[in-house]
Amino acid sequence: MRNLDFELVRTLDDEGNLLNGVTIDLSEVELLELYEKMLMTRLFDERAFRLQRQGRIGTYPPYKGQEAAQVGSVFNLEKGDWLFPYGRDLAACFTFGKDMKSALLYAMGHKDGSKVSEDTNIFPLAIMIPPQIPQAVGAAWASKLRGEDRVALATIGDGGTSKGDFHEGMNMAAVYKAPAIFLCQNNQWAISVPIEKQMATDTVVQKAIAYGMEGVRVDGNDVLAVYQVTKEAIKRARNGEGPTFIEALTYRVGPHTTSDDPTRYRKETEAEKWKQRDPIELYKKFLIKQGLWSEEQDAKMTENIKEMINTAVKEAEATTKTRLIDIFDHVYQLPTDDLMKQKQSVESEFLISQ
């Protein structure tokens, strides 16, 4: 029987010091870029939460506390690779090239909310759980069949591992050695259901054994550790060694969405405990101790990012709103007969109301 114990990969202690024997293969520029992306995504998340409370965007799923898992993993992707995010993964999308304006439009229900540049392969955010897994496998397998040097990174929450799509996708990826990486952000809660009531296994990552694929467990609040294990997984995928399943141990410090009240099902002392290893504060400590950063630089960067967010908000709110009739042109490339009938019905109602 295989050993079910998976070492938790870490690079930093609680004070931001490199652990013994750990080496970093990133340049100073790359180290600072990691931090900038984490800080930008955090500030956007906090602003988006306030915008929802003001009634300026729709329901929003905050990801505060999960920035290291998302930014650290996607930081390894190259142009031409694929990202298949789940609904809480805007930090991952921003890191791979999505702009803030389109993210806000998405939250406003705009038809262009999922648009990205033509050379950026980001699948639309998966709100249903978890259709992006088999879709990512399909993209990865197609890339392999075409002889392309591309990988597909799919992200998922711990709750998503309880769904059939997850198991079917994992099995197919392993059988066909698809160049795919599955990143599970184990944030401890599937809406109001704690991890211990979701599965009988001690860890999420041990599920990899059943499918015959590589499994890694990493501290999801340690951006350097996430970066390193994902880099190795991507290298294996590109070399034809098959998929990897990564469990990033982290925590959702906020609500599941802005329509959720986490105080009804969990103790706030639990969230406070995880805040002590906040991914951004932990990494900032590291950078300061390395002589690469200062509080003064941090304040200036924060101000610049907030200005960028303000601009994105103004541009999104100035964009012409989507009409119901516009939606029908954004479902299928070639509309079905049923879709055309529905569109004609809406057109008739629109003309009558004029």
297-321 as b/e, with b when 16 or more CB fall inside 10 Å? eeeebeeebeeebeebbeebeeeee
Question: How buried is residue 74: exposed, middle or buried, by Cβ count under 10 Å (0-12/13-18/19+)?
Answer: buried
Identity of the residue numbered 160? G
Identity of the residue numbered 126? A
Catalytic residue check, 252: yes
What tokens appear for 302 in the block? 């924060």
Number of alpha carbons in the 13 Å side-chain half-sphere of residue 37: 27
| Cβ atoms of residues 84 and 139 within 8 Å | yes
Taken in order 86, 275, 258, 91, the sign of the CA dihedral is negative
How many angstroms separate the Cα of 310 from the Cα of each of 88, 266, 315?
22, 34, 9
What tokens appear for 127 in the block? 């709100």
Annotated catalytic residue within 50, 53, 265, 330? 265
Catalytic residue check, 330: no
Number of alpha carbons in the 13 Å side-chain half-sphere of residue 186: 24
SS3 state at 122: strand
Identity of the residue numbered 225? A
Annotated catalytic residue within 256, 266, 323, 332? 256
Q: Tokens 């397998």: give the residue.
A: 141
- Percent composition of the chain: helix, strand, coil (DSSP 3-state, to 5): 50, 10, 40
Annotated catalytic residue within 60, 252, 277, 283? 252
DSSP-assigned states of every residue in 134-190: HHHHHHHHHHHHHT----EEEEEEGGGGGSHHHHHHHHHHHHTT-SEEEEEEE-SEE
Q: Indicate the length of the chain as a whole number.
A: 354
Catalytic residue check, 256: yes
Taken in order 18, 22, 23, 26, the sign of the CA dihedral is negative
Provide the annotated active-site residues. 252, 256, 265
